[in-house]
């Protein structure tokens, strides 16, 4: 039986200002998502540190939301160009590296070099591991045999000066230090799990393949060149692709050239390395991923929790029975609310919602013998019964008619051979709940930034 891989993406950020070298009126972009496979027979022993990694990310999410609600402006989408095309990139699971992240391969610089970046809807900063030569001296920055970007070898590399308005007013995490007007704009970001990323901002280009098959470049992207990184967050990737709900994210700027849309379909979080789906900018090219049927549901995006994508949950049901959860849990103005986050693995519920959900599910599973599997509260010996067991049906009901009916494997999760656990974790109340990537798996999620809407539909996320 497959086993759970739960390492969570620490927050990474990336800022982009794209312009397309060929006409965007007839083009579209897509990125392919890749997932990594299982790492061995002793995964259960890694559950606790992976669980803690999720909790650390939640701490960062709460602090970011608190800071932004305290005075930051809500995100207002820019004007978007109409187009009938898109560009795609493969996107897949990172389980083969022992992480709970999803990866996309992006070609950066001129000539273009491939980098494996974390696809992160909670990040508005994009950066790559970098090694640069300074004033003829020895190369400085990340090395040690890992894949790194070397800016002096890219003809499109243009450092952003610390004296510019962009550095001083727009780019988050930029340091106030500016020893000379021509000095580069630098950043120093400390993540909640103790990891750090330090480097400088620059304008760069990325090479993309349009749905027509033509290759072209996105110019003027703001990319972080991370010369010094530490901690466990960055071991399995070359950096981060920022897909956050922010005017400076790659998602916002790239989608502005392609109809204001981007979408992804996450394959099973334990899918093998050779199975991938697509991250798409522009109208969804693969009609098999988003069919034109009435089953496609839509809900409004709330811009108050930027750079996160906030959605309005109305209630949660188990076997069609609405659970008794205080409405304040889902209300941003009352200290609650819900975000959709590709960088968190497990779904995290504010404590009142968590208690109601796990209580309802555990009552339905009372016929199974419980086993101890730290850090989960409810785990079961799934092989103890010879007959088929009824698995309770969980549903998330959003404001309006939208309803998410995830497959049972997305919330009753495999953690060891013959052992399944109720796959939710608790967040302090008041606080924000997070729909993690495991609950999102095997659905297409289309972010209509132009019209502030989110659409989703069940899909196996298989490319044909």
User: Which residues are designated catalytic?
Assistant: 120, 341
Tokens found for residue 455: 């659409």
**For residues 109 and 204, is the Cβ–Cβ distance under 8 A?**
yes
Q: In terms of Cα–Cα distance, which of 409, 383, 378, 374 is closest to 394?
A: 409
Tokens found for residue 175: 């340091």
Q: In terms of Cα–Cα distance, which of 277, 341, 343 is closest to 34?
A: 277
């Amino acid at each position: 039986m497959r086993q759970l891989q739960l390492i969570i993406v620490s927050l990474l950020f990336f800022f982009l200002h794209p312009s397309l070298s060929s006409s965007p009126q007839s083009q579209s972009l897509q990125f392919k998502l890749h997932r990594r496979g299982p790492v061995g027979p002793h995964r259960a022993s890694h559950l606790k540190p992976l669980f803690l990694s999720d909790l650390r990310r939640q701490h960062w999410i709460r602090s970011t939301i608190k800071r932004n609600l305290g005075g930051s402006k809500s995100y207002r989408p820019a004007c978007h160009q109409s187009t009938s095309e898109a560009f795609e990139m493969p996107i897949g699971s990172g389980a083969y590296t022992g992480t709970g992240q999803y990866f996309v391969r992006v070609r950066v610089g001129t000539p273009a070099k491939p980098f494996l970046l974390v696809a992160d809807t909670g990040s508005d900063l994009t950066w790559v591991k970098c090694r640069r030569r300074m004033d003829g001296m020895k190369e400085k920055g990340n090395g040690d045999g890992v894949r790194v970007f070397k800016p002096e070898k890219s003809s499109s590399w243009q450092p952003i000066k610390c004296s510019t308005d962009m550095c001083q007013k727009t780019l988050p995490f930029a340091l106030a230090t500016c020893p000379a007007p021509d000095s580069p704009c630098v950043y120093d970001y400390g993540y909640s799990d103790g990891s750090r990323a330090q480097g400088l901002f620059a304008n760069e280009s990325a090479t993309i393949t349009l749905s027509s098959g033509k290759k072209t470049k996105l110019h003027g992207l703001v990319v972080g060149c991370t010369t010094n990184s530490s901690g466990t967050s960055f071991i399995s990737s070359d950096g981060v692709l920022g897909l956050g709900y922010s005017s400076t994210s790659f998602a916002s700027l790239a989608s502005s050239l392609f109809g204001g849309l981007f979408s992804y379909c996450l394959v099973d979080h334990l899918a093998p390395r050779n199975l991938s789906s697509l991250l798409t900018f522009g109208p969804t090219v693969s009609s098999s991923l988003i069919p034109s049927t009435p089953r496609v549901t839509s809900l409004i995006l709330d811009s108050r929790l930027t750079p996160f994508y906030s959605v309005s949950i109305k209630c949660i049901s188990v076997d069609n029975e609405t659970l008794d959860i205080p409405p304040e849990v889902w209300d941003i103005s009352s200290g609650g609310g819900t975000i959709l986050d590709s960088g968190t693995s497990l779904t995290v519920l504010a404590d009142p919602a968590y208690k109601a959900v796990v209580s309802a599910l555990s009552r339905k599973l009372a016929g199974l013998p419980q086993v101890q599997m730290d850090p989960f509260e409810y785990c079961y010996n799934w092989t103890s019964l010879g007959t088929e067991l009824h698995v309770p049906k969980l549903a998330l009901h959003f404001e309006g008619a939208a309803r998410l009916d995830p497959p049972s494997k997305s919330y009753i999760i495999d953690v060891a051979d013959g052992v399944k656990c109720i796959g939710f974790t608790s967040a302090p109340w008041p606080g924000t709940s997070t729909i993690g990537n495991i609950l999102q798996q095997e659905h297409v999620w289309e972010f209509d930034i132009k019209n502030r809407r989110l659409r989703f539909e069940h899909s196996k996320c298989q490319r044909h």
